[in-house]
Structure 1
Amino acid sequence: MDDVVIRSSRPEDMPTVADLRWRWSVDEGGAVPAVQGGAYRAAMVAFATAHPDSHRCVVAVRDGVVLGMAWLALTERPPTPDRPGRRLTGDVQTVYVHPDLRGGGVAGRLVTALLDVADELGVERTSVHSSVAGETLYRRLGFGDARLLLQRPPED
């Protein structure tokens, strides 16, 4: 898909990014929204505006239309005596490609762009909580199992 451009998101992209997330969660996933679409769009715009340093978004654009997204959440680590300037950790989140672009490598290009951002920022570890469908993509991009990376899910 040579006609698809991967780039950093811009503030004016956020309503469309919100619409993609809505499509993924509500239209395709069957989630019951807690708010109407306009309120959700406003919440996404507010979130992106409030978190430019901790959350980076890249988008896939074809013919001027945003049709894919991926986010990198960044967390600073406390300093240690041997590394007082300890670096960030990153978490790949909310990777979605519109059905019109699926199967053409766009998701891989989005995640690769996020990994480039992580590398530029000196992120020492990048993780992802993958879906079953996405596992092959992430493994192909160098993600692997970490024996001591544990999680505690919320109580049911």
Structure 2
Amino acid sequence: MRISEADSGDVAGLARLLWVNAHGEEPTRPPDTFAGELARWWADRPGSHLAYVARLDPPELVGMAWVALVPRVPRPGNLGRMSADIQTVFVLPEHRGRGIGSALVDAAAEHAIRLGALHVTVHSGHRAVPVYERLGFASSPQLLQRSPD
């Protein structure tokens, strides 16, 4: 298995993973239609959303983790402040339990930190919290959330 940053040649595989992840939860377009939509969406966000992918031989995508890089208001002496958020981590069910998701999250978070992110957040389901904690994520009393009513 190889973990690498995705590029435009991975859009069809990413679309397939996103489609499998969402299938049955919300209305979805066919995977080939969605691939074109994803390509346009990603092209409109250069540098703000990166994807890391897990590949097997042959180079089939079996997992992904996205990281959104969010510019922050500058401060005197620090014009390039940013934070990052891990989003849409998914591994095909038949490949789970092998550390692929952890490797993807670790690669995405480390990349964001190398780019200068002041912090990396994740919104997790209950079952995945221990995984994120093993990867160095911790709860923070200063990180608050407001949901729509």
TM value normalised by structure 2: 0.92
User: What's the offset of the Cα at 1:154?
Assistant: 2.4
List alignment gaps of at least 5 residues for structure 1. Answer: none
User: CA–CA distance in 1 between the matches of 2:124 and 2:26?
Assistant: 22
| Structure 2: unaligned runs, 5 residues or longer | none
Deviation larger for 46-55 or 101-110: 46-55
State the partner residue of 1:105: 99
Partner Cα distance (1:7, 1:86) in 2: 25
Paired position in structure 1 for 2:22: 25
Counterparts of 2:48 and 2:74, CA distance in 1: 18
State the SS of the aligned residue for 1:150: coil
Trace 1:21-60 onto structure 2 (pairs within 5 A).
21-26=18-23, 30-60=24-54
The match for 1:66 is: 61
Secondary structure in structure 2 of the residue aligned to 1:67:
strand
Identical residues among aligned pairs (%): 34
Q: Counterparts of 1:89 and 1:122 in 2: how far apart (Å)?
A: 8
Q: Cα deviations across residues 117-140 of structure 1 (Å, max 9, x unaligned)?
A: 112101111000001121111111
Give deviations 1:51-104, integer Å, cap 9, x for gaps.
2310111100001101100000001111123x4324210000000011121000
Give the TM-score of the pair, scaled to structure 1. 0.88
Correspondence for 1:6: 3
Match of 2:117, SS?
coil
Please give the residue correspondences for 1:122-137 in structure 2 after superposition, counting only pairs within 5 Å. Answer: 122-137=116-131
Is 1:149 aligned to 2:143, yes or no?
Answer: yes
* Count of residues in Structure 1 that have an aligned counterpart in Structure 2: 148
> CA 1:69–1:122 in structure 2 vs 1: closer, same or farther (change >3 Å)?
same
**Alignment partners' CA distance in 1, 2:135 and 2:148:** 29
1:16 paired with 2:13, answer: yes
